[in-house]
Amino acid sequence: MARYIFITGGVVSSLGKGLASAALGALLQARGYSVRLRKLDPYLNVDPGTMSPYEHGEVFVTDDGAETDLDLGHYERFTGVAARTTDSISSGRIYSNVLEKERRGDYLGKTIQVIPHVTNEIKDFLEIGGDEVDFMLCEIGGTVGDIEGLPFFEAIRQFAQEKPRGQCIFMHLTLLPWIKASGELKTKPTQHSVKELRSIGLAPDVLVCRSEGPIPDKEREKLALFCNVRQDAVIAAQDLRSIYEAPLAYHREGLDQAVLDAFGISPAPKPNLEKWEDVADRVYNPDGEVRVAIVGKYTQLEDAYKSIAEALTHGGMANRVRVRAEWIDAEIFERDEDVAPLLEGYNAIVVPGGFGERGTEGKIRAAKFARERKVPYLGICLGMQMAVIEAARDLAGLENAGSEEFDHEAGMKRFEPVVYHLKEWVEGNRTVQRTQADDKGGTMRLGAYDAVLTEGSRVAGIYGGCAISERHRHRYEVDIKYRDKLEAAGLSFSGMSPDGRLPEIVEYDDHPWYIGVQFHPELKSKPFAPHPLFRDFVRAALAQSRLV
Ligand code: GLN
């Protein structure tokens, strides 16, 4: 049975709990253990699928089609372990399961209560797959003291109590603020946070403290004494220039050792950190730089396109260059007559995924600029649909080309539906049907689907083969009715669903690098295994930078 590590946070949010969990997962792997990482989120949404990226950052999609928290992206990028539906849960999902059971009569007339019914539901979730790995790392979202978080804290307390001794440990992440005026690092907020934890029956074994600088011995002693942890289990988490140094930095601070000590594992297997040394070397010692414009909608919040930013970094690592990604609000291109001055300084352009009409005309103009000026272009999901609409309007003479998505939103018919609402598709050997009237959540083509690439196409060369599987999250689809017209105009449909009905990839043969993909390649990129499309896209950007 797996050993469980519960990761909680205190003092403030956004301390990098997800990253600390992911880095710890990577370190345990480096010592030869198998791991799985999980996120338990106290919010009441059933899943983050319907939350605005402004609120919650990107929605990370798993192979098996779950819409999850972006922390699962960190977990995958650091461990390479593909996340599953059962790696993420929210209070909303827990309560909806409990209420469903209540309606079914599963509780045999009992009064339904947070303890034991909700906590049991959480504990059942924790058990899933517990016999498959050496370590299960479970991160609890939010901070200790949040009202919503209480059932989760209570459930992990019970869980640890019911397991054999030494099967579960608790790691708590806090902040040590630096008071400039007195030149001091303050431990009091951490003490309070641990006190709060202990008042609900949880005692941390490992304390990870975010701080700007190292933790002096005096403060370390104080933390150990007042928080009741061992001194060598007080781990400093200093700000890093790159998140990809986190496994090495945490190892230097002794995090993995402290965790193994807390479990009483001795002697601990030696870690092999070569992979992370290479990753850090590539991030910190680039040989040049390329500039990439990301023309999107949710540009105020970088987390909204987290995986794209990371995948570009990975592409840079593969080419040993730094990728300077800049976010441009697509709506700017709708105001300005000439987009050229705004885009000329970039070596490549990405149009990422998105929903709704706002900003789409600007994205179409960016796609046109890239095509005409022969600047490398990567269109992802909505970005591919924009590239197709651009080609339909400008090259195939379909002036009114557009997406049904925008007509649906506006409640009127204005466009020729080159991109139409997908209501039926094949999943394995069954046909899935969806209608407009379905709930907003769960009406999309979600998760991993196979695609077949045309032999000899640029993408087949990039992937090094013709059979691929990539993750999807979309409702609308390019209509193959327009394929012949578009291909005659120069846009090849070089990737299709295995049944030949759904376009997956489009590209121009007479362009240095112009590819649109209906899926999200960024979700599968890793620092130690950059996604081939991002690797080659950055290579093309580098070639472009040498031309100018
Ligand atoms: N809004 C588009 C669709 O639903 C694109 C989705 C996306 O970019 N993820 O098809």
List, for residues 395-433, the tens digit of each pLDDT value.
999 999 999 999 888 888 999 899 998 877 777 777 777
**For 271, which DSSP code?**
P
Rounded CA-CA distance 264/257 in Å is 10
Q: Which residues pair with 506 in a beta bridge?
A: 493, 516
Q: How confident is the model at residue 341 (pLDDT cuts 50, 70, 90)?
A: confident
Cis bond leading into 267, ω under 30°?
Answer: yes
Closest-lying ligand 1 atom to the alpha carbon of residue 352: 8
Domain with CATH 3.40.50.300 in the chain: 3-279
* Ligand 1 contact via 476 beta carbon (within 6 Å): yes
Q: How confident is the model at residue 183 (pLDDT cuts 50, 70, 90)?
A: confident
Nearest protein CA to atom 5 of ligand 1, as residue? 382
* Ligand 1 contact via 445 beta carbon (within 6 Å): no
Mean pLDDT of 208-226: 93
| Per-residue model confidence (pLDDT) at position 323 | 97
Annotated ligand binding at 385? The verdict is yes
Closest-lying ligand 1 atom to the alpha carbon of residue 380: 8
**CATH fold for the domain made of 286-547:** Rossmann fold (3.40.50)
Sheet with 491-496: strands ordered across: 322-329, 289-296, 348-351, 377-380, 514-517, 503-508, 491-496, 445-453, 467-474
Nearest protein CA to atom 7 of ligand 1, as residue? 353
* Ligand 1 contact via 473 beta carbon (within 6 Å): yes
Nearest protein CA to atom 9 of ligand 1, as residue? 353
Long-range contacts of 508-513 (CB under 8 A, 24+ apart): 508/371, 509/458, 511/371, 511/374, 511/377, 512/374, 512/376, 512/540, 512/543, 512/544, 513/348, 513/376, 513/377, 513/378, 513/458, 513/537, 513/540
Closest-lying ligand 1 atom to the alpha carbon of residue 473: 9
* Ligand 1 contact via 298 beta carbon (within 6 Å): no
Q: How confident is the model at residue 436 (pLDDT cuts 50, 70, 90)?
A: low
* Ligand 1 contact via 381 beta carbon (within 6 Å): yes
Annotated ligand binding at 18? The verdict is yes
Annotated ligand binding at 175? The verdict is no
Q: How confident is the model at residue 300 (pLDDT cuts 50, 70, 90)?
A: low
**Average pLDDT of every residue of the chain:** 92
Residue to probe by mutation, ligand 1, list 295, 350, 355, most atoms within 8 Å of CB: 355
Domain with CATH 3.40.50.880 in the chain: 286-547
Annotated ligand binding at 447? The verdict is no
Closest-lying ligand 1 atom to the alpha carbon of residue 356: 1
| Per-residue model confidence (pLDDT) at position 433 | 73
| Per-residue model confidence (pLDDT) at position 336 | 63
Annotated ligand binding at 470? The verdict is no
Helix (H, G, I), strand (E, B) or coil at 500: coil
Pairing assessment for the beta strands 467-474 and 445-453 based on DSSP bridges = antiparallel
Closest-lying ligand 1 atom to the alpha carbon of residue 475: 4
| Per-residue model confidence (pLDDT) at position 51 | 74
* Ligand 1 contact via 36 beta carbon (within 6 Å): no
Q: How confident is the model at residue 302 (pLDDT cuts 50, 70, 90)?
A: confident
* Ligand 1 contact via 405 beta carbon (within 6 Å): yes
* Ligand 1 contact via 353 beta carbon (within 6 Å): yes
Q: Which residues are catalytic?
A: 381, 520, 522
pLDDT, tens digit, 9 for 90 and up, residues 498-513: 999 999 999 999 999 9
Mean pLDDT of 38-55: 82
What value, to the nearest 5°, has the Cα angle with vertex 524 and ends 92 and 472? Answer: 60
Name which of 400, 375, 378, 405 is nearest 389 in CA terms.
Answer: 400
Nearest protein CA to atom 1 of ligand 1, as residue? 355
Distance 449 CA to ligand 1 centre (A): 15
Annotated ligand binding at 191? The verdict is yes
Distance 405 CA to ligand 1 centre (A): 9
| Per-residue model confidence (pLDDT) at position 55 | 72
Q: What's the CATH number for 3-279? A: 3.40.50.300
